[in-house]
Structure 1
Amino acid sequence: MAYSLKEINEAIRSDPAAFVAECDAAYQKKIESAAKKIADHRTESHIILLSGPSGSGKTTTAMKIEEVLDNSGVETHTISMDDYFLSVDPETAPRNREGGIDYESPFCLDIDLLNRHFAMLDRGETIHVPKYEFARQIRSATMTHPLQLGQDELAIFEGIHALNDVITGKNPKAFKLYIAARSNVVDEEGGVVFQHAWLRLVRRIVRDAKFRGSDAAFTIKLWPNVRRGEKLYISPYKENANLMFDSSLPYELSVLKPFVVPMLEELPRGKYDVADDMLRAFDRIEPLDESYVAPRSLVREFIGGSDYAY
C-alpha cells in the first residue's frame, strides 16, 4: 500500500482533526481484527508472539491488543522480550563480522529461558518474569515478577526476535503477529517521496531524542547496523506470522516533521546522505501540530505524551 502525498497535504490543510481521527480509527480496526483472531486461537496456545523491526510500534500495538482483549473478557498480559536479554559478557557475547558485540543477534537473548517460560505458561505454571537493567547491561537477579495464566488468559511477548525460528520452532502453536511500517508516500506520478524505512528511522530519531537525549547523528550512525540485523534476523522470519499488518499512519510524517527537521538541519550537509534525502522529502510534506494526536495514538510512542505506561 502507498499513501498519496497530495491527499495527505490536502487533508491536513482542510480538516486535520478529522483526518487524524480517521487514520487512528482505521488503525484501531486493525487492532480489533487482530485481537479477534488471537481470541479465536486461544484454545491452541496461551502465547502470542509479536515481532517487527525497530521503530514499528510493537509496544503500543501490543498494549492496544491487550486492551481490546481485556475489554472482551480475555485477560491478557504484555511482556517485553527485552527483559530476557542476557547480561553482557564479552567472552560469550555473539560477534559481528567486524568483531564487535552483535547486539542485534537473537543470541543476546536467553532463548532457553524464554522457551521454558512459554511452556510453563501454557501448562498453567508460575514463571518469574525477569527485568533487564539497560544502564548496567545486566539482568537483575532480584527484580522479577510472578506470572501465572488462568485457563482463559493470554500473554503477549513482544520483541524484534519473537518470530525467529529459534523461538517459533519450539512454539508452533503460539499465535504469531508481525507488524512493520510498510507504506511509502508517493507523488501523483507514483514516484516515492518518502520510503517506509525512512519513517522507522525518523520514529527512532525522535524517540531517541525524547527519551534518551540522543541527537540525530547518534541514531543515524546506528541505523546501518540495525538494518543489517533486520535483514539477517528479523525479515527472513516474517512469513512465520499468522497475521501481518502495516503500522504506518498517513498523518504521522506531518506530526514528526516539526520534531525531526530541526534535528536533521543541525547535521552537516553532505555528511549523511539519508538525512539530506529526508530533508528534501519533508520540504514537500505539510506539518501538523501534535495537539491533534490523541493520547493513545500509536504516534505517541515516539513523540511522548502517551496514556500507556511503557
Structure 2
Amino acid sequence: MPYQLSEINDKIRRDPAAFLAECDAHYQQRITTAVDRILERMKESPIVLLSGPSGSGKTTTAMKLEQELERRGVNSHTISMDNYFKTLNRKTAPRTPEGDIDYESPSLLDMDLLDDTFSRLSQGEWVIVPHFEFARQMRNDSRGTPLKLEKNEIAIFEGIHALNDDIAGRHPEATGLYISARSDILDGERLCFKGTWMRISRRAVRDYNFRGTDLLETLLMWYNVRRGEKRYISPFKGRAHVVIDSSLRYEVPVFANYADALRAAVDQVPPENPRCREFHDLVDAFAQFEPVDPALVAPDSLIREFIGGGSYHY
C-alpha cells in the first residue's frame, strides 16, 4: 500500500519522534503476524525460509522474528544461507551476459547440502552448519557450527534464494517468508519515490559505511543486482506463506541526510549505464522530504542495519 508524501512531511514537522515510534510499531505488528503464521505451521516443519532481494532488511527481520518467538517460548536459530556458498571455481562459475561472474546466481549455492540439512534438522538429527570465508571465496568446513533442533525449536534460514525451486521446492513443508520494501511514496497520484529506491539507498549507505565499498561501485552493480532479482528471486515469492513489507515511512527522510554523498557518486555514473537516469531521479527525489535526524532512529529499528548505531550485532 503506498504512502503519501504530505502525511510523512506533516507528521515530521509536528512530532518526528512520535512519528518514528508509530512507524516502528507498525513494523513490529508485521513481525507479530509473521510469527503467528510460523507457529501455526510449526507442526508441518521446524524450518523457516526467509527470502527477499538485496536491501530488504532480512537480517534485522530475522532477529526480530527470533525475539518474538522467544517471547512466546520458542527457541530459534538464524542461519545465513551465505554460508552454503560453494568454494568459487572461476572456470565453472555462472556468468552474466557481459561475461562477469554472476554472483546473484543460485547455482553458487550447495543445494544438495541445504536439502540434507533441512531433512536432518526436521528429523531431530545433528548437522554442521558450514562457514564461508568471503575474503578467500571458499567454504571452510573446519569452522562449521554443530546444530540440532530440540522440540519447540525453529531454524530460520535467511538468504535471497531461500524460496528458489531447488531449495523451497524440495521442502514445501517449510514455512516461506518473503520480505521487501514494497511501498511506493505518492504525492497525490504522482509517484515520487519508488520502493526499489529505498533498497538501493539502504544498500549504498550500508556498503559505504560498513563494507568499504565505494558508492559508485554499488550503483554500478545495481543493474546486475536488479537483473538477478527478476530472474532468480521475484519469480518464487508466490511460495511464501507470509509476505512482509519492510518499508518504513520515515526512512526516506532519514536517508535524505546522505543525499549529497549519493549525488556525488551518481554524477560519476557513465551516461550509458542503463540506470543512470533513474539514479539522478532518485537523488533529486530526496529534496521533497523533510529530513529526519538519524539520531532519532531507535536502536532496534530495521534502518539501523544500514546506518549503524543500533542494538543488534550483524
> 1:178 and 1:267, CA in 2 relative to 1: closer, same or farther beyond 3 A?
closer
Percent pairwise identity: 52
Q: CA deviation at 1:305?
A: 1.3
Q: Identify the match of residue 296 of structure 1 among 289, 293, 300.
A: 300
Q: Is the CA contact 2:52–2:179 (under 8 Å) kept in the aligned structure 1?
A: yes
Q: CA deviation at 1:94?
A: 1.7
Say whether 1:211 aligns with 2:203.
no
The residue that corresponds to 1:261 in the other structure is 260
Q: CA deviation at 1:102?
A: 1.2
Query: Could you tell me how far apart the structure 2 residues matched to 1:141 and 1:175 are?
Result: 27
State the secondary structure of the residue aligned to 2:141. coil
> 1:266 and 1:160, CA in 2 relative to 1: closer, same or farther beyond 3 A?
closer
Q: CA deviation at 1:141?
A: 2.6
TM-score, normalization: structure 2?
A: 0.96
The residue that corresponds to 2:238 in the other structure is 239
Query: Could you tell me how far apart the structure 2 residues matched to 1:63 and 1:201 are?
Result: 22
State the secondary structure of the residue aligned to 2:288. coil
State the secondary structure of the residue aligned to 1:294. coil
Say whether 1:138 aligns with 2:138.
yes
Q: Is the CA contact 1:85–1:109 (under 8 Å) kept in the aligned structure 2?
A: yes
The residue that corresponds to 1:251 in the other structure is 250
- Paired residue type of 2:307: I
State the secondary structure of the residue aligned to 1:183. coil
State the secondary structure of the residue aligned to 1:156. strand
What are the Cα deviations for residues 25-70 of structure 1, in whole angstroms up to 9, with x where unaligned? 0000110111111012111101000000000001110110011001
Q: CA deviation at 1:98?
A: 2.6
Query: Could you tell me how far apart the structure 1 residues matched to 2:71 and 2:63 are?
Result: 12
The residue that corresponds to 2:226 in the other structure is 227
- Paired residue type of 1:14: R
What are the Cα deviations for residues 149-206 of structure 1, in whole angstroms up to 9, with x where unaligned? 0011000001000001111111010000001101111102x11001111110000100
Query: Could you tell me how far apart the structure 1 residues matched to 2:259 and 2:132 are?
Result: 29
State the secondary structure of the residue aligned to 1:182. coil
Query: Could you tell me how far apart the structure 1 residues matched to 2:46 and 2:280 are?
Result: 46
The residue that corresponds to 1:279 in the other structure is 283
Q: CA deviation at 1:96?
A: 2.3
Say whether 1:112 aligns with 2:109.
no
- Paired residue type of 2:20: V
Query: Could you tell me how far apart the structure 1 residues matched to 2:294 and 2:265 are?
Result: 22
- Paired residue type of 2:147: L
- Paired residue type of 2:284: R
Q: CA deviation at 1:263?
A: 3.0
Q: CA deviation at 1:215?
A: 2.3
Say what the alpha-carbon RMSD is for the aligned residues. 1.2
Say whether 1:63 aligns with 2:63.
yes
> 1:209 and 1:91, CA in 2 relative to 1: closer, same or farther beyond 3 A?
same
State the secondary structure of the residue aligned to 2:142. coil
Say whether 1:14 aligns with 2:18.
no
Q: Is the CA contact 2:23–2:248 (under 8 Å) kept in the aligned structure 1?
A: yes
Deviating more after overlay: 96-105 vs 281-290: 96-105
Query: Could you tell me how far apart the structure 2 residues matched to 1:270 and 1:225 are?
Result: 15
Structure 1 gaps, min length 5: none
Say whether 1:148 aligns with 2:152.
no
State the secondary structure of the residue aligned to 2:305. helix
The residue that corresponds to 1:157 in the other structure is 157
